[in-house]
Structures are given as C-alpha cells and as structure tokens.
Amino acid sequence: MDFTFTEEQQMMAGAFRELTDDLCAPAALRAAFEGRGESSAARWQRLTELGLPGMLAPESVGGMGLTLADFILIAEAAGRAALPETLVEHAGIAVPVLSALSADARGAAVLQAAVSGEARVAVSHPFNPFIVGADQATHVLVLTDHEVHLLSKDEAKLEGHQSIDALRSLARCTGSLQPGTCIARGAGASAATALAFECGALLTAAECAGLCDALVALAVSYAAERSQFGKKIGAYQAIKHQLANVQVKLEFARPVLYAAATQATVLSGRSRFGVSHAKLAATDAADLAGRTAVQVHGAMGYSWEVDVHFYLKRALGLTGMWGDRSFHMRRVQQQLFSEHLAIGPDALFGVFKELP
C-alpha cells in the first residue's frame, strides 16, 4: 500500500497545472465565456501539446499507456481550473473506451486521431441526459447497453442547450443510430458502457475535489483581505472554522479518490464501491466548499463579478452527472448488503484485495 504519487505522475500534473494557471486565469475564463480571447481550437492545441489526450491509450497507437491512477491528478487539476475544454471526457473516458474497442477499424482510426488530439470525442451515456462539450467535438461516442456507436458531429445531429455553467455547453444527439456507425455490440458494448461509467464517475469526482480546492483558495484569500469591525474577517473563528471544515472534507475525500483510481477499471463489486464512495465524498466536499465560499464572500459571493459562482455551478453540473448522489449511495448500500462483500476488520482495505 502506498498513497504517494510517483515523480513522473507529479511532474505531469505539475506541468498541466502550470498550463491551466495560464489558460484558466480568471481573465481568460471570462474572455472564454464572452467568446473573446484565444480561440477554443488554439486552447485545445496547447492542451494536446503535453500529450494529455493519449495518456490512457496504449503505446502502440502513440499513447502513453498509462492508467487512471496516473490521470487522476490531471482530472483534479482540470476541476481546480474549471477548465472549459472537455479534456477529461476526451482523454479519461473516450480514449480508454475506444482503446478497448480498437478491433473495429473505424474506432481504431478515430482513436489514432484522438490520441494526437486532432479528433475531439464527446461522450453520450445512458446515465447522462446530455453530452458535454459536443459543440467543440469532431465525434460523438454514443454508448448504450447493447451497442456502441461512433458518430461524426454531422451524423449526431446535435441539439444544443445552454448550461447553468456558462463555460460548458450541453447537447442532445437527435440523429438515429444506423448500423454503419456501430463499433461494438452485445457483451463488448455493455462492458464498454460500464467502463465508461466508472471512468466518468471517478473522474468527475476528481474534478469536484479540484473545484473544492479552488473554492477554498478563493475564500481563504478573500478572508485574508476583507476587513469588517476593524479586523480581517479571516481572524474570526466563525470564518476560520467553516473553511477548516471544508478542508477536512477535502482531505478525507482525496485518499478515497486515489484509492478508487487504482481499482476503477476492474469493474468488480469492490471497485464500484470505491468509485461510488469517491464520488459521494468528493461531491459532498465540493458542495460544502461552494456554500462556504459564497458565505465567506458575503454579498460579493452572490454576485457575478466574483468567480465563486463559476466553480459552484460547475460542481453542481458534475454532481448530477455520472450517477447522482442517490444513485451512488444506493450502490454503496447494495454492495454492503450483498453477500460477496466482506465487511469485517480484515476487509477494511478490501478495496485493494479482490475476493475470489
């Protein structure tokens, strides 16, 4: 057992964080939202330069052959930056799913382009009522329990919707699914759809942890700056304790998240338990962080001018996607009461030890 990240993992995440500090500086985010600033294509280009899109693809197709545990810090940093681009969906869900289905020639071709970042793949999943970031995608991967389809953007006939999060676009696929676009059927398709779900739930949890981090940082810096009654508000325990409570939630969510990342793709009862636990812990932390950050900012926090609401709304969207709170709580309950799950002291770390 070892909860430390390797030097390479930390370096990669560090480089990505530096990039997002620039790409997602408050002014850049506002510019992106108002349709000014660097074009979305140029931003995406910079994201691909680090090789991020192919992190989870096998080396044989030009990827890095890494695992979700390697990607988890990237997803967390994407959340922390409220990255408008759907890098996480592309690199963390679409690419591994396409890699698993690369027997199909069309799938393999798009995978190749997706690894380089030339193709941008959005994901449609039965658990989500909409597709995120489809307007900037070249392809849509449509997962269902029986078939997986890979559609070009034209074939998908997208119907766009605004999100409450001004930095995210939503869409529904209105095109009908034709045999020609199918890249997997039957057991292969349902396994891919199940895999996508675990990746999606885990990585949105990571993004929520990142959002929580960003919200705490915003609130802490405001609390250190704003004075009332002749003192910095951060000097009042009522403010300190609220922020400390969020930090505790975040620090308790992180190990759960990292542990789940090492197991998520196993698709076992244990791994699902871990992913659900991570999603619950991280979304709860982000939720408390959003509430607290608004409160610490007072009326400022309720205004559009301060960035708090961008993060709060992103967290709101992510909380509902890839299984909402009730769903994941149900899954934890089901696992706990299933006969296959050992729950004694020797099973405390059972997430790491698959039962026969």
Ligand X SMILES: Cc1cc2nc3c(=O)[nH]c(=O)nc-3n(C[C@H](O)[C@H](O)[C@H](O)COP(=O)(O)OP(=O)(O)OC[C@H]3O[C@@H](n4cnc5c(N)ncnc54)[C@H](O)[C@@H]3O)c2cc1C
Element of type H or E holding 217: helix 186-223
* Burial class of residue 59 in the structure, from the number of CB atoms within 10 Å of its CB (0-12 exposed, 13-18 middle, 19+ buried): exposed
Find the angle CA(9)-CA(11)-CA(13) to the nearest 5 degrees. 70
String marking each residue 299-328 x if it binds another protein according to CB under 8 A? x-xxxxx--xx--xx--xx-xxx--xxx--
String marking each residue 115-154 x if it binds another protein according to CB under 8 A? -------------xxx------------------------
Choose which of 78, 278, 294, 351 interacts with another protein (CB under 8 A).
294
Element of type H or E holding 132: strand 131-132
Q: Which is nearer to another protein, 111 or 316 (CB)?
A: 316
What minimum distance in Å lies between the beta carbon of 204 and another protein? 11
Nearest-angstrom CA–CA distance, 192 and 79: 25
- Number of residue whose CB is nearest ligand X: 298
Query: Residues in contact with another protein, total (CB under 8 A)?
Result: 42
What minimum distance in Å lies between the beta carbon of 212 and ligand X? 18
287 binds another protein (CB under 8 A): yes
C-beta of residue 182 within 8 angstroms of C-beta of residue 148: yes
Q: Which is nearer to another protein, 104 or 135 (CB)?
A: 135
34 binds another protein (CB under 8 A): no
162 binds another protein (CB under 8 A): yes
- DSSP three-state, residue 172: strand
C-beta of residue 191 within 8 angstroms of C-beta of residue 145: no
C-beta of residue 158 within 8 angstroms of C-beta of residue 172: yes
- DSSP three-state, residue 149: strand
- Residues in the site for another protein, rule: CB under 8 A? 128-130, 161-165, 168, 170, 227-231, 236, 238-239, 287, 291, 294-295, 298-299, 301-305, 308-309, 312-313, 316-317, 319-321, 324-326, 329
